């Protein structure tokens, strides 16, 4: 299991790789445009080349990008829905320019509450984005904390999207499991039975093998709160033993682990990556 962090790109993409290596990353996650805007400048060809070179030199084994927060693939507003899938296609295209392995996206909402109908709308948006982008980058659907009408807080909801996808599109899809979101949605990841409930749900509805990235974030709020607030590994309501179970779980052995932490750089990444690497070593999980 590779371990890394979401890293900033304010100093440029090659510098982001250097920073990632300096804090012990074996993998990294990044934005490929401003996540709070629909549009972004066309990536500079020299920057993408330098990024790829820096990645090879620094030995970063996996790169995942994260889409803009504005995207809502389940929107019932036809204008927002089309804008969202087109933005997703743009994100996938940008990710391919940087040679990313995957792109993570939030799914959006399902205001109507009908599982099949909501999943079909999301799946159609994904299909259009994949077709337009024509990108080799895999698309990973991230689970949510279950607040309001957000869609994708359970394996059943994510699995419904996968089932609605045609075989060719489904083959391009995976899952990003956020531990804070799952805990907030009602899966108590501080205890083994909570992990079993969650991964057994994926066994039934979506296949745990599709979990390609784990956002290893502790939770400020308790299980079932539906509040998404990240805490440092071992300092929240999941706790150190909850993350030890992550590394002991055979069904997640091939996933890449990414931290998305509040706080100041580089301390937030040095501390949390070190904590996860210690747990990985203690559990005898495969490393880099």
**Is-catalytic flag, 36?**
yes
Point out the catalytic residue in the list 94, 106, 128, 183: 106
Alpha carbons 12 and 46: distance in angstroms, whole number: 11
**Is-catalytic flag, 203?**
no
**Is-catalytic flag, 77?**
no
Pick one of 3.40.718.10, 3.40.50.300, 3.20.20.150, 1.25.60.10 as the CATH number of 3-283.
3.20.20.150
Contact 70, 39 (CB under 8 A): no
pLDDT at position 278: 97
Point out the catalytic residue in the list 66, 94, 169, 245: 66
**Is-catalytic flag, 181?**
yes
Structure tokens at 138: 């895999």
**Is-catalytic flag, 69?**
yes
The secondary structure element, H or E, covering residue 199 is helix 192-205
pLDDT at position 284: 81
**Is-catalytic flag, 178?**
yes
DSSP string, 5-25: EE---TT-HHHHHHHHHHTT-
**Is-catalytic flag, 227?**
no
Written as tens digits, the pLDDT of the chain (288 aa) is 999 999 999 999 999 999 999 999 999 999 999 999 999 999 999 999 999 999 999 999 999 999 999 999 999 999 999 999 999 999 999 999 999 999 999 999 999 999 999 999 999 999 999 999 999 999 999 999 999 999 999 999 999 999 999 999 999 999 999 999 999 999 999 999 999 999 999 999 999 999 999 999 999 999 999 999 999 999 999 999 999 999 999 999 999 999 999 999 999 999 999 999 999 999 887 765
DSSP string, 54-97: HHHHHT--EEEEE--TT--TT-SSHHHHHHHHHHHHHHHHHHHH
pLDDT at position 101: 98
Point out the catalytic residue in the list 121, 230, 245, 280: 230
Alpha carbons 20 and 153: distance in angstroms, whole number: 30
Point out the catalytic residue in the list 90, 178, 249, 269: 178
In terms of phi and psi (left: phi > 0; alpha: psi -120 to 50; beta: otherwise), the region of 134 is left
Point out the catalytic residue in the list 90, 228, 249, 269: 228
Between 155-164 and 192-205, two packed helices, what is the crossing angle to 10 degrees? 20
Alpha carbons 58 and 111: distance in angstroms, whole number: 44
Point out the catalytic residue in the list 44, 56, 69, 131: 69
**Is-catalytic flag, 228?**
yes
**Is-catalytic flag, 215?**
yes
pLDDT at position 288: 57
CA-angle at 87, arms to 215 and 112, nearest 5°: 75
Q: Output the pTM of the full model.
A: 0.97
Q: How many other C-beta atoms are found inside a 10 Å radius of the C-beta of residue 260?
A: 16
């Amino acid at each position: 299991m590779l371990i890394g962090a979401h890293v900033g790109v304010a100093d440029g993409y090659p510098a982001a790789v250097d920073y990632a290596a300096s804090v012990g990353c074996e993998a990294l996650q990044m934005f490929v445009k401003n996540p709070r805007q629909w549009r972004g400048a066309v990536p500079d060809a020299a920057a993408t080349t330098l990024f790829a070179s820096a990645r090879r030199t620094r030995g970063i084994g996996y790169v995942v990008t994260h889409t803009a927060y504005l995207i809502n693939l389940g929107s019932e507003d036809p204008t927002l829905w089309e804008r969202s899938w087109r933005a997703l296609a743009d994100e996938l295209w940008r990710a391919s320019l940087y040679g990313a392995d995957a792109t993570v996206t939030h799914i959006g909402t399902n205001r109507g509450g009908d599982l099949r109908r909501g999943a079909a709308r999301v799946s159609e948006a994904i299909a259009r984005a994949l077709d337009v982008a024509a990108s080799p980058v895999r698309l990973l659907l991230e689970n949510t904390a279950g607040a309001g009408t957000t869609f994708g807080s359970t394996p059943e909801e994510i699995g419904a999207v996968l089932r609605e996808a045609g075989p060719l599109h489904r083959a391009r899809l995976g899952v990003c499991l956020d531990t804070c979101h799952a805990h907030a949605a009602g899966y108590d990841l501080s205890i083994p039975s909570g992990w079993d409930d969650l991964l057994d749900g994926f066994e039934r509805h979506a296949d745990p093998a599709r979990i390609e990235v784990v956002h290893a974030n502790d939770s400020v709020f308790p299980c079932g709160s539906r509040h998404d607030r990240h805490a440092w590994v071992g300092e929240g309501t999941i706790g150190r033993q909850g993350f030890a179970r992550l590394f002991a779980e055979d069904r997640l052995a091939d996933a890449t682990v990414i931290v998305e932490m509040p706080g100041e750089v580089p301390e937030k990444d040095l501390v949390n990556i070190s904590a996860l690497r210690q747990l990985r070593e203690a559990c005898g999980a495969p490393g880099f």
